[in-house]
Amino acid sequence: MADPVKRRPTTPRPPRVLLVDPYIARLDPMERKFVELYPSLGLLQLGAYLRDERVEVQFADLTFERDVTGLRRRIRSFAPDLVGVHTKSLTMLRALRIASLARAAGAVSVAGGPDAASRPDAYLAGGYDLVAFGEGEATLLDLARCVVRDEPIAGRPGTIVTGTGGPIRGPARPFLRDLDELPLPAWDLVDMSRYLAHWHRRTGERRAAVLTSRGCPFDCSWCSKPTFGRSFRQQSPDRVLRELRALQNLYDVDYVRFCDDVFGIHRAWIEELLDRMIDQRLGIQFECLARVDLLKPDLLKRMREAGLARVYVGVESGSQKMLDLMNRGTRLEQIERAATALRREGIRQFWFLMLGYPGESLEDIESTLALFRRFSPEEYSVSLAVPLPGTRFFELVRDRLRSVPKPAARSGGRRLLYEAPYPQAFYRWQQARFELEAILAKARGRISNELLGEIAELADRIDRGIARPLLARPRSSTPPPHGAGSVRFRLPSIPLPRRPFRPAR
């Protein structure tokens, strides 16, 4: 392909960039039930960075849209030089459609974000002029300038274009050295009031998302980390507090989701942040995703004092063998310690569990269920292992991948995507067992323990006497029926120690 930039006339004006988040909440089967809506932090950060460099930026946020009709109009009216689209596997098909809208309007289209970086060929073949990989700020600015100056893009750092002899991949761009230098996210580019109203309706809180770091040094075998790899950088506690205060002042935010891959990797850093939050009586509640090895009881106490209300915990499996196979780097004792401390502190716990990872036996599934029974987390998600391109898990099962009909690409990994140890129907039954277990836990105190025990035992008997003989047979080559692959569940009423959040002092 000719260099896409060659199509553009030379122009002295500032570049115009339209950032697009192709995610449409109402079309996401998971989000319809469990909506976690926040504007894309990556794009908000890119928008702020470009604007500081005198690029004209708009953001087409499809989150609350029905389809791409409004986007088509937006492209026509703004006439961007560059249309930059954020990609996740869930939104790939729509992202490809947007490339054709950009092309029709004569704009250069660039796909960035985790999915395009993991499988650039698919985006280039699907109509994108180029794919950006790695950290986006400097790359997108460079591209915008190249486009208006009519300079060639092929070979620029952080980009991939299609050349006559195959893809031309520029060198990787070094990461930004100091995250504190990034401007605050450009919240004004999206309609924050819609997000805040959404949260207020759902929870009574005004929620926003915040990132304090980029990357993760751990190495779980199923984790896709195409952008930051195993690198890890974090903002100073000062910078984080500045962002929190800005959200409070501008949008009256009272609850924050820290979106870091893993929150509080360095003990000294998190202690300093927590101390400041407590000292300054910030009064913002928060939730975060954490690893059980980092959630030490004394730290959790401090986190609760600073406003921690809920933690997403990557438990994944109740079998040490499986944790080791996943290269998770955590131990069952750490799960038990963290779950106990969370319960003691009255902090809600949302467990991520995974079924169907290669090597998982019936006994391993049973151990996971037993752990789940023991701790009854308030919320959980049991999903089927999804081999994401670019991961070791993907390479491991590459020859066992199942061809997925197109609409499934939109289903957000809700079905078995590879020939797992057992057929999908068996995993669906196992998911139902977790669901039953959660219902029984919820009913504790309202129904006699004897009856609850009998129901649980009946389910175990069905498992051993019917489900296993019928469903846990060696895989056949016939594809199992389509259907849900992930169950997320919320337990509203497990009694927790009553410790309402109050800023210290």
Positions touching ligand B12 (CB under 6 A) are 23, 30, 36, 38-43, 45-46, 84-86, 88-90, 110, 112-115, 118, 132, 135-137, 139-140, 209, 211, 214, 223-224, 227, 259, 261, 388, 412-413
What length is written for the chain? 505
Q: Which of residues 289 and 440 has its CB atom nearest to ligand B12 in the complex?
A: 289
Q: Which does 385 bind (CB under 5 to 8 A by kind): ligand SF4, ligand B12, none?
A: none
Q: Which does 211 bind (CB under 5 to 8 A by kind): ligand B12, ligand SF4, none?
A: ligand B12
Residue 486, helix vs strand vs coil: strand
**Considering the complex, what minimum distance in angstroms separates the CB of residue 120 from ligand B12?**
12
Q: Which does 262 bind (CB under 5 to 8 A by kind): ligand SF4, ligand B12, none?
A: ligand SF4
Indicate whether 220 belongs to the interface with ligand SF4 (CB under 6 A).
yes
Token pair recorded at residue 458: 């009946």
d(CA 431, CA 207): 30
Q: Which does 291 bind (CB under 5 to 8 A by kind): ligand SF4, ligand B12, none?
A: ligand SF4
Token pair recorded at residue 407: 């609409």
Q: Dihedral, CA atoms, 140, 144, 147, 151, nearest 10 degrees?
A: -70
- CA of residue 236 relative to chain centroid, distance: 23
Token pair recorded at residue 272: 């300093």
Do 17 and 57 contact (CB within 8 A), yes or no? yes
d(CA 476, CA 432): 22
**Considering the complex, what minimum distance in angstroms separates the CB of residue 392 from ligand SF4?**
11
- CA of residue 137 relative to chain centroid, distance: 20
Sole binder of ligand SF4 in the list 262, 277, 341, 417 (CB under 6 A): 262
Q: Which does 38 bind (CB under 5 to 8 A by kind): ligand B12, ligand SF4, none?
A: ligand B12
Indicate whether 218 belongs to the interface with ligand SF4 (CB under 6 A).
yes
Q: Which of residues 214 and 291 has its CB atom nearest to ligand SF4 in the complex?
A: 291
Token pair recorded at residue 435: 């669901």
DSSP type of residue 82? E
Residue among 257, 202, 262 at smallest CA distance from 232:
262
**Considering the complex, what minimum distance in angstroms separates the CB of residue 181 from ligand SF4?**
24
d(CA 252, CA 425): 47
- Pairing label, strands 159-163, 166-169: antiparallel
Indicate whether 223 belongs to the interface with ligand SF4 (CB under 6 A).
yes
Binding residue count for ligand SF4, defined by CB under 6 A:
9
Q: Which of residues 43 and 265 has its CB atom nearest to ligand SF4 in the complex?
A: 265
Residues that bind ligand SF4 (CB under 6 A): 216, 218-220, 223, 261-262, 291, 314
